[in-house]
Structure 1
Amino acid sequence: MNIIFLAIVMIAFLVAAMRQFAWSGDGQSPMELLGAGMIKAAEGSVTLALGLIGVMALFLGLMKVAEAGGLLTIVARLLRPLMVRLFPEVPADHPAMGAMIMNFSANVLGLGNAATPFGIRAMQELDRLNPYKGTATNAMALFLAINTSSITLLPTGVIAIRAAAGSTDPAGILPTTLFATICSTTVAIVMAKLLQRYWSANPADLQITPEKTEAETVSVPLPESDAPAGEGYPAWVSALALGIILAMVPVTILHGRTIAPWIIPGLMVLLLGFGAIKRVKIYEVFVEGAKDGFQVAVRIIPYLVAILVAVAMFRASGALEMLITPLGAITNLVGLPPEALPMALLRPLSGSGAYGIMASIINDPAIGPDSYTGYLVSTLQGSTETTFYVLAVYFGAVNIRRLRHTLAAALSADLAGIIAATAICLVLFGALR
């Protein structure tokens, strides 16, 4: 991100400088426009974060109630029968399986902060089964490929940002996000399974020392808070839940505009009701989660200032127009407008960068959150992951140097997510173009 940030600023400055030397003297000079754009973006980023505080506090408070009531464990038990088939090389009772299930469950519910610790723990446990230290196993590659594209039922963060930007339909991205993540996750699994045949786990050009095999590995149980309860629901229950999720796609596509107004009020009633049934002290737990939301909203202010100022410089200098115009003319033909192209390109590289671009787009009065472009960038943010960040953090936790087919599978999933997001937004919101 350091290189990306510096490159955006330097390119913007150089382009503005060249335009300044060619300036005829009419109106504001390119450098004046550049400086004014920087100041306006810095002020706007803080205003955006302040507007986000209340909405973020609301959603994180609700998710805290759901988590305290055991919703995460319920989702984990639903996933268990599927997981043992996806990862046949990992014993069903191994701690790695429990950590992976909890990681996926947190991602499904939009609990990104909870997903990362589970993911790192899963990688550490998978490394215990790794006979070739420093090289990614098939299970590691599949786990991270799914992680970069995992199905999201509740993209609460993006909904909060859209609400703060004044959207009249902040939850309208639920069907588009669900469709895009189902497609990207399917591609991630298929590509990981196919590509593992062509990447050897023990290349001759690397000196790799076999260590403990699966049979020799000592199983270390997860702490009680990290382990899913029980052995999982019967397979038919998991299959039924998966069928319901898949059935939600056509339902939300056909009746999305009718359902959308009910989602946020219904979500609050359902989650608080779930917590009450589970005898959670819903008020105290909600407030505790809302505190986390306040802290998150305040903590992102420096990131918003940095990226929004850099993006504003890139736009005000004319550099963005020079880059996007030729590419955007091509991508616009397939439903990816020039304004959304930077978002699609930057999302796998930088989460904060893509976040800033999305925020700047949906807060642009000329575009707005409820335009076709606003829905598209919101869907891209909610249905894709920062691939290189995930690989760096998770593989770095266990000192994996040889990624094998992980990156190829993850980038294939990213591409599938972008294509699927564009396609579903064209179907649902194409009339807004």
Structure 2
Amino acid sequence: MNVLFLAIVLIACLTAGYKQLQWQASAPQAGADWANAAATAGASPMEQLSAGMIASAAGAVELAIGLVGIMALFLGLMKVAEEGGLLTVIAKLIRPLMVRLFPQVPPNHPAMGAMILNMSATALGLGNAATPFGIRAMQALDALNARPGTATNAMALFLAINTSGVTLLPAKVIAIRAASGSMDPAGILPTTLFATIVSTVAAIVAALLFQRYFPVGQPTSQELAMERPWVKEFQVDDIRQNQAQDHSAYPLWVSMLALGCMVLAIPATIVWGKAIAPWIVPGMMLGFLLFGWLRGVRIYESFIAGAKDGFDVALRIMPYLVAILVAVGMLRSSGALDVMVGFLAIFTAPLGLPAEALPMALLRPLSGSGSYGVMSSILTDPAIGPDSYVGYLVSTIMGSSETTFYVLAVYFGAVQVRRIRHTLIAALIADVVAVMASVAICSYLFGQA
């Protein structure tokens, strides 16, 4: 992100500087009044660049402030659902599928429970809750690892699924769309669900296919001597705690029925999307509160606790928004963005991926905060807007993909895995498929701009 941020600013400054020299060379020289000439010619390229920087910084703060209330609303609802046990319900639904995907992991091992909770939190868009579960799952999986420092097949498959996990409710993306003035902020629900289902299937197939070409190999004496204190921890305390937990699951037919309903929800929202859209946000509010109340949750206190988290999240991303929106604003004000858009559109536009959306597709696997900033800059661009084809496309890409390199660095770093085998290949295949699926479904529903 450091290199990307510097590169954007450098390109903008060099482009504006080059235009400034041309602008000065074209101005009247001897005997002319410089002030009158400048006034006649309008603002210079460097002045336009400065004005763009200030306007972008102010716009980023306004967007973040507008995001505070919306983020507090959605994370408050998520907190009610979480305390009502929605994570447990989802965990029981996917457990029969998990034991078949991960046959090398014992059904009652702590790794299985942690992976299920991680995927359940991801499905609900609870990124902050998913990460601790994911790290715990990796540590538990490492307790089953015969070659320390090398990713097992289960680790690779888990992270491939994690980077493409099915998202039922991309709450943060919906909140940013609402803050950007969208008339249909929840309109990305069917597109996101479609793209994540397709990318998750691709991730599973890729991980299972490539694992045979990347053998684990035999451990060396240095690897066997690695210090892994979390392994001892799982062999004692967590095993005892795991035995006391409820590992029950719904029957397989219930899980398959739920999966089938989720798949059928895609064509249903396509056919009745216009009629359903106005009901989605109010229905979420009423449905989550009723769910929490029926489960005995003190819904008001839980909502307030979640809203506080939403307030903190919105404030935390403000510096990131300022940085990336200023950089993108400089790129636009300098004219460099127009040049790049015109060049890339020749290749990407026929494929349904406009050049305006291409930076989002490239940045998403690298940086979550940076991609949120790029998405915000696109949605707030008066020439694009959140309800255009490009607006729906970048929102869908954001909601259906993950910061792949960040996830791999954090999760593998937690267990000191350096040889990741086929994990990155499977994860990147999932990212590419997510973009392709996003283009396909958005082109079908909203048409190309």
The Cα of 1:331 is off from its aligned counterpart by 0.8
Number of the residue aligned with 2:255: 238
The Cα of 1:107 is off from its aligned counterpart by 0.3
The Cα of 1:206 is off from its aligned counterpart by 11
Number of the residue aligned with 1:369: 386
The answer to whether the Cα contact below 8 Å between 2:108 and 2:242 also exists between their aligned partners in 1 is no
The Cα of 1:202 is off from its aligned counterpart by 1.7
Which of 115, 131, 141 in structure 2 is aligned with 1:100? Answer: 115
Corresponding letter in the other structure for 1:293: G
1:325 aligns with 2:342: yes
- Structure 2 CA distance for aligned equivalents of residues 289 and 335 of structure 1: 38
Corresponding letter in the other structure for 1:176: T
Corresponding letter in the other structure for 1:415: V
Q: 1:325/1:206 Cα in 2 relative to 1: closer, same or farther (>3 Å)? A: farther
Corresponding letter in the other structure for 1:48: L
- Listed as ranges, the gaps of 5+ residues in structure 2 are 28-40
The higher radius of gyration belongs to 2
The Cα of 1:239 is off from its aligned counterpart by 1.0
The answer to whether the Cα contact below 8 Å between 1:145 and 1:189 also exists between their aligned partners in 2 is yes
The answer to whether the Cα contact below 8 Å between 2:110 and 2:242 also exists between their aligned partners in 1 is no
- Structure 1 CA distance for aligned equivalents of residues 361 and 211 of structure 2: 27
The answer to whether the Cα contact below 8 Å between 2:159 and 2:427 also exists between their aligned partners in 1 is yes
Number of the residue aligned with 2:160: 145
Q: 1:2/1:61 Cα in 2 relative to 1: closer, same or farther (>3 Å)? A: same
- Structure 2 CA distance for aligned equivalents of residues 337 and 19 of structure 1: 26
How does 1:291-330 map onto structure 2 within 5 Å?
A: 291-330=308-347
Larger mean Cα displacement after TM superposition, 173-182 or 17-26: 17-26
TM-score where L is the length of structure 2: 0.92
- Structure 1 CA distance for aligned equivalents of residues 94 and 126 of structure 2: 16
Deviations 1:302-322 (A, max 9, x none): 111011111111222222233
1:255 aligns with 2:272: yes
Which of 263, 278, 294 in structure 2 is aligned with 1:277? Answer: 294
Which of 414, 421, 441 in structure 2 is aligned with 1:397? Answer: 414
Deviations 1:127-163 (A, max 9, x none): 1111111111111111111111100000011111111
Deviations 1:364-407 (A, max 9, x none): 11111111111111111111111111111111111111111000
Number of the residue aligned with 2:31: none
Corresponding letter in the other structure for 2:384: I
TM-score where L is the length of structure 1: 0.95
1:84 aligns with 2:103: no
Number of the residue aligned with 2:36: none
Number of the residue aligned with 2:45: 30
- Structure 2 CA distance for aligned equivalents of residues 318 and 166 of structure 1: 26
The answer to whether the Cα contact below 8 Å between 2:148 and 2:219 also exists between their aligned partners in 1 is no
Q: 1:312/1:126 Cα in 2 relative to 1: closer, same or farther (>3 Å)? A: same
1:11 aligns with 2:11: yes
Number of the residue aligned with 2:175: 160
- Listed as ranges, the gaps of 5+ residues in structure 1 are none
1:191 aligns with 2:189: no
Larger mean Cα displacement after TM superposition, 406-415 or 237-246: 237-246
Q: 1:350/1:227 Cα in 2 relative to 1: closer, same or farther (>3 Å)? A: farther
Number of the residue aligned with 1:115: 130
Q: CA RMSD in A?
A: 2.1
SS for the counterpart of 1:404 is coil
Corresponding letter in the other structure for 1:21: L
Identical residues among aligned pairs (%): 65
Size of the aligned set, in residue pairs, is 429
The answer to whether the Cα contact below 8 Å between 1:102 and 1:228 also exists between their aligned partners in 2 is no
The answer to whether the Cα contact below 8 Å between 1:144 and 1:410 also exists between their aligned partners in 2 is yes
Larger mean Cα displacement after TM superposition, 284-293 or 20-29: 20-29
- Structure 2 CA distance for aligned equivalents of residues 403 and 316 of structure 1: 42
Number of the residue aligned with 2:404: 387
The Cα of 1:27 is off from its aligned counterpart by 2.3
- Deviating above 6 A after TM superposition, structure 1's stretches of 4 or more consecutive aligned residues are 203-207, 222-228
